[in-house]
């Protein structure tokens, strides 16, 4: 089951990047404008996310973030909390902006999904460390995830159902992806080993993140 709601807690300290990729207050709609435009904006974002939310195996979804998905999360947070003061809006921007890819990487929210509560509890105990065993592959190169840079989401008993991942790509891998090379996603964990090749439309969107 996928979620279309803003994720919490927010990743306040994920690796920074180039300012042009960041959202500013000028990019956001006011609460009044968002109330009027929300249905159309939400439909646009959900259509956009269909090609960016990719399943790896039966129980994980990787939600690849970009400026539009992050703007949606911020707008929804401002709406839910009725935030309209400038300093508070900037706090949300500072929290969510690090999720936007910087041009040299992909950033994704990893969701571990089990519909049954007991199955999920057992699985999260077995899947400790899964966030660090996620990888992307381009042109024969693999990059493993740099996970949860904002805070630790795992303890001695279980991992979290939500993780934030950053995949740093070499210049050759970036060039290959932009030239149309196949992109693979995989998880190499003793309890969960799966890999997939990204479809052509999704691969095109991911390659565009590397500009």
Is residue 168 within 8 A of residue 146, CB to CB? The reply is: yes
CA-based nearest residue to 41, from 11, 61, 71: 71
pTM for the full predicted model? 0.83
Q: What is the pLDDT of residue 15?
A: 40
The rounded mean pLDDT for the chain is 89
What is the DSSP code (8-state) at residue 63?
Answer: E
Delimit the domains of the chain by residue range.
Answer: 19-208
| Enclosing H/E stretch for 137 | strand 134-138
What is the DSSP code (8-state) at residue 132?
Answer: G
How close are the terminal C-alpha atoms of the chain, in Å?
Answer: 31
Is the per-residue pLDDT at 39 higher than 70?
Answer: yes
* pLDDT confidence band for 151 (50 / 70 / 90): low
Assign 159 to helix, strand or coil.
strand
66-97 pLDDT tens trace? 999 999 999 999 999 999 998 999 999 998 99
Spatial separation of the C-alpha atoms in residues 113 and 165, rounded to whole Å: 16
Q: How many residues does the chain have?
A: 211
Tokens of 37: 């435009």
- Kindly write down the DSSP assignment for every residue of 29-41, as one continuous string: PPHHHHHHHHHHH
112-145 pLDDT tens trace? 999 999 999 999 999 999 999 999 999 999 999 9
């Amino acid at each position: 089951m996928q979620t279309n709601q803003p994720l919490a807690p927010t990743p306040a300290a994920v690796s920074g990047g180039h300012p042009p990729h960041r959202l500013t207050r000028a990019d956001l709609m006011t609460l009044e404008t968002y109330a009027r435009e929300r249905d159309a904006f939400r439909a646009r974002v959900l259509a956009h996310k269909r090609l960016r939310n990719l399943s790896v195996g039966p129980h994980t979804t990787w939600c690849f973030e970009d400026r539009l998905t992050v703007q949606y999360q911020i707008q929804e947070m401002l709406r839910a909390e009725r935030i309209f003061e400038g300093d508070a809006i900037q706090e949300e921007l500072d929290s969510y902006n690090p999720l936007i890819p910087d041009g040299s990487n992909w950033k994704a929210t990893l969701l571990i999904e089990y519909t049954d509560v007991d199955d999920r509890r057992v699985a999260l105990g077995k899947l400790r460390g899964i966030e660090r065993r996620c990888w992307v592959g381009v042109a024969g190169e693999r990059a493993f995830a740099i996970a949860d840079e904002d805070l630790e989401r795992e303890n001695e008993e279980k991992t979290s159902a939500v993780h934030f991942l950053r995949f740093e790509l070499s210049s050759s891998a970036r060039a290959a992806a932009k030239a149309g090379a196949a992109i693979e996603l995989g998880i190499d964990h003793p309890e969960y080993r799966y890999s997939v090749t990204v479809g052509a439309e999704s691969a095109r969107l991911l390659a565009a993140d590397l500009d």
